[in-house]
Amino acid sequence: MNSFAVQIPSFEENQNVEIAVKVNGTTLDFQYRVEFFTLHDYGFPSTSRANCIRNILAEYDSGWDTYQVSPVDEERIAITFRRKR
C-alpha cells in the first residue's frame, strides 16, 4: 500500500492543506491545494466540460500536479493539486 486517505473537514473555498507523514522515522511533507472553478468562466456550455477542465489545467501553475477533480454542482468543480516534489 503506497497511499492512504485523510479526511479534510468541510471544504472551504480555495484551501491549502499541509500534511507531514513519518515513514520509518523519516518525515515527508506534502502540500495540497483545493481550488474551485466556475465552468462558465472557461466557455461552458458551448465548450464541453472535459475541454473546460483541460483549459483550466493547461493554464495552472506548472509547480503543481493535478491530484483529483471533483464535481461540486452543474456549474462548478473542485480540483485538488499536489505540489511537485
Strand order in the sheet with 76-83: 15-23, 26-38, 76-83, 64-71
Q: Cα Rg for the chain, rounded, in angstroms?
A: 15
User: What is the total residue count of the chain?
Assistant: 85
Kindly give the confidence (pLDDT) of every residue in the chain, 85 residues in length, as a single tens digit, with 9 standing for 90 and above. Answer: 577 777 766 666 777 888 888 889 999 898 999 899 999 998 888 989 999 999 999 999 999 999 999 888 888 999 999 999 8
Per-residue pLDDT reduced to its tens digit, 50-62: 999 999 999 999 9
| Helix-, strand-, coil-residue percentages of the chain, each rounded to 5 | 20, 45, 40
